[in-house]
Structure 1
Amino acid sequence: MAKSKIFKNRDVLMPDYLPGRLPHREQQIRKVASVLAQALKGYRPNNLFIYGLTGTGKTAVVKLVTRKLEEKARSKGIRLKISFVNTKRDDTAYRILAKLSEDIGLRVPPSGVATSHLYSRFKKFLDKREIIFIAVLDEIDYHVKRHGDDLLYKLTRINEELKYSKMSLIGITNDINFTSWLDPRVKSSLSEEELVFPPYTASQLEDILKERAVEAFYEGVLEEGVIQLCAAMAARERGDARKALDLLRVAGELAEREGATKVTIEHVRMAWEHIEKDRVTEVVQSLPLHNKLILLSILKLTKEDRATYTGEVYKLYKEYTELLGIETLTLRRVSDLISDLDMLGLIRSEVVSRGRRGMTKMISVESDRNAILRGLSKDPRVAEFVGYL
């Protein structure tokens, strides 16, 4: 394989790369560290709930702090274990409990055990370990919106049933309104400590990119203005550092494919278009089934750039649910899900008056239609309907 003339180390621009330093997150690092430091004294740290938009450094800060915490605990002989679960990937209560169980040394069958039984086994085994256990539940909003907060309720109450071990939770969410989904008892238990991560500014993103670029690229391959443009574009996208790093990496990859010796402003603009289409497909693919059917209805009703309305969408959505033999959500719930699709940037909905018929939402497609269709086509339950569009 030919050696790259662009990249010195592409990995430092990947989403899962954890640098030793996180610029402009010093305050958040101190806060997380101060909460978790109680473990080094043998106490159970307070539960911590972290909010912030995508790409604001939440997961990276928690991983950095917990990694250092584990190192200090080992040096002090403190029995501390930290488990990190992405609840979007391990998206059921069973899978979350299985991951937590395996991380403390309890072997779990892939299936065949009731979730309630698995919880009992996890609790008993945890108590036998006589440890301080910190469970980090990343993207916790995804699990709760799909499956409810029953598991969270149990985990926030588990210390009442433990004699020899102690357990703390760190919840991480991109949804600043997430706690409105929670039972008040769960909310009060989970949010013993709270921390909000603000979006990065353009100048802060520029600092982050400059540090990574030194490790990622050979000297002199970035045209002047490339980093500044990546930072400015990502700052417009709610200060998303992940987007900024992806943009810089994809721009470099496009330059490499061309056989170019420099990454130019034009490569950045091409990378932006490329990422946007991929992002839309990925977002659509991850949507729950009812959201997909609503989006499919909107696509069908807005051909040739026409707008549609909530009532029309609901009528077609209902036809799809009946064809699939699944429950049809209420009109009000569908209206809420339309608002969620708007927040994701897939559609645009605007409340308008229709005279005697009252207020409704006028809806149009905002993102690339082909990218949306690709995302919908990846779900076999929806794919058969996509072919008729």
Structure 2
Amino acid sequence: MQGPMMDNIFKKYLEGKSVRNIDFKVFEPSFVPNKMPHRESEIGILVDNFGKILMGGMPKNVLIFGKSGTGKTAVMKYIGRELEDASKNRVNIRSIFVNCQIKDNSYSIFETMGNSIEGEKIPFTGWSFDRLYAAVKKNIDMYNGNIILVLDEIDRFVKKNGDDILYQVLLLDSELEKSRITLVGITNDLKFMDYLDSRVKSRLNEEKIVFPPYTSEQIYDILIDRVNIAGINDFVSEGALRLISSLASQENGDARKAIEMLKASIQLAISSGENKVEEAHVFSAKNRMEYDAIMETIKTLPVQTKALLLGILLLRESGTIQFTTGEVFEAYRNVANGANLPVLTPRRISDMLSDLDSLGLISANVTSLGRYGRTKMIEINVSFTDAKKVILEDENFRGLKATPTMKQLRFNIDH
């Protein structure tokens, strides 16, 4: 009889200094710490604006600009939490956060507003907008307080649907008798105001705040803060933290990505049974994150672009390293026919090749063929085995998984 845990397959997770109860929620994007390092100035502006509510005044609407990972959403969640805490037994304040990438139509945003406070229950769909508007107006006015509506990634919504949602919210606020709505828009696009109609601009009366990218030293401080909150400051080396800070500062000062890289590095160290997170774990985590990002990009490509990429992958699988646009088009046509997709024109395929090139999935370099003219030479930049597996998970290509079909496609491409 073997001793307890002597040969258990989970032994490496149960021994050594690296095994500890780490609260990984500290490293999640949804986590909001009790302090926000290096955002004191921006917080001060927001506190002065929203503090007016506590004095019976009315704050301005706010537009927050900044690249991904600069703390925009986290700071607004922090402000909302602190403001609601300060307003207890004084005035009703409710912060409502809406991610416009998920809630991507006016109905869903108004439904979220109406169901975030007590009152008439609003269904997820099915009502006319007039009925929805009236119910939300009634619920908010019965609340008899202040609503701070935060529309995260508002630029995505406006580019897709226009700015009617902003006009509708501003109009709703003007019609309320007992409550008020303050609108906060969060955007990565510094040109966001250019997309708005004059009727919206005139009503907005906004305070604009720009969140600059974090520097390497600032990201290091943020990482130190998270490590201390998690109680693992002795488990992560300074070299690892410095490396993560440097890498993240080179990518637009993205603190969110830095925290994600730190989390992945910690998990790698633990799974390897190591006693400390070192630079090697950071490099491994970075490579894994980049790989996952590439596979996710492929997964979300339009179906015709996937068909084109699959044709290129099959060319590569047949042993060829570089291919002409003519070869790529023939490979794409075979895949499209095999998947019962309409075949696009060579010109459209050329545009799609440029898109794949800009995503870094392929390299498309123009090469001279002498008196035969010029052509693009295509080369794949990703693991063709893994990329093909991701594409074949799409229901449009499931019929191609059968070996005879794939063999026939490769035969057509080879010949």
Q: Same fold (TM over 0.5)?
A: yes
Aligned mates of 1:138, 1:244 — CA distance in 2: 21
Q: 1:23 aligns with which of 18, 21, 37?
A: 37
Contact 2:155 2:192 in 1 (8 A): yes
Contact 1:13-1:212 at 8 Å conserved across structures: yes
Shift, 1:337, TM fit: 12
Partners of 1:265 and 1:154 in 2: CA distance: 51
Q: 1:111 to 1:159 in 2, by over 3 A?
A: closer
Greater shift, 259-268 or 89-98, is seen at 89-98
Distance (Å, rounded) in 2 between the aligned partners of 1:177 and 1:350: 32
Change (3 A) 1:17 1:161: same
Q: Secondary structure at the match of 1:12?
A: helix
Greater mean deviation of Cα atoms: 210-219 or 191-200:
210-219
Match of 2:373 in 1: none
- Residue 39 and residue 234 in structure 1: after superposition, are their counterparts in 2 closer, same or farther (change >3 A)? same
Match of 1:40 in 2: 54
Query: CA-atom RMSD, angstroms?
Result: 4.3
Q: 1:253 aligns with which of 259, 264, 267?
A: 267
CA apart distance, 1:50 = 0.9
After the TM superposition, which of the residue ranges 19-28 and 130-139 deviates more from structure 2? 130-139
Number of residue pairs matched by the alignment: 377
Alignment of 1:1-389 (within 5 A): 2=14, 5=19, 8-75=22-89, 77-105=90-118, 106-190=120-204, 192-283=206-297, 285=299, 293-294=304-305, 297=308, 300=311, 304=316, 380=395
Q: Offset of 1:168 from its aligned partner?
A: 1.2
Cα offset for 1:363? 8.9
Gaps of at least 5 residues in structure 1 are 353-360
Distance 1:351 1:128 in 2: 65
Cα distance between partner residues in 2 of 1:194 and 1:365: 43
Distance in 2 (alpha carbons) for counterparts of 1:307 and 1:101: 56
Summarize deviations over 1:285-323 as a string: whole Å, max 9, x none.
5x5x75x644654664686565888xx99xx89x89xx7
Contact 1:141-1:175 at 8 Å conserved across structures: yes
Once residues 170 and 337 of structure 1 are traced to their aligned partners in structure 2, the CA distance between those partners, rounded to angstroms, is 39
Q: Give 2:144's aligned amino acid.
A: E
Contact 1:29 1:65 in 2 (8 A): yes
Residues 32 and 264 (structure 1), Cα distance of their counterparts in 2 relative to 1, 3 Å cut: same
Decide whether aligned partners of structure 1 residues 63 and 99 sit closer, same or farther in structure 2, where only a CA change above 3 A counts: same
Percent identity of paired positions between Structure 1 and Structure 2: 35
State the distance in 1 between where 2:353 and 2:184 align: 28
- Using CA pairs below 8 Å that are at least 6 residues apart, which structure has the higher relative contact order? 1
Q: Structure 2 vs 1, CA of residues 230 and 109 (structure 1 numbering), >3 Å: closer, same or farther?
A: same
TM-score of the pair, normalised by structure 1: 0.78
SS in 2 for 1:167: strand
Tell me the distance in 2 between the aligned counterparts of 1:28 and 1:343: 34
Residue 246 of structure 1 deviates from its aligned partner by 0.9
1:85 maps to a residue whose letter is: V
Instruction: Give, as a single letter, the amino acid of the residue that structure 1 aligns with 2:244.
Output: C
CA gap of 1:152–1:8, structure 2 versus 1, over 3 A, is: same
What per-residue deviation string (whole Å, max 9, x for no partner) do you get for residues 27-69 of structure 1? 1111122222222222332111111111110011101111111
Query: Structure 2: where are the runs of 5+ without partners?
Result: 1-12, 368-375, 410-415
* Amino acid of the structure 2 residue aligned with 1:136: V
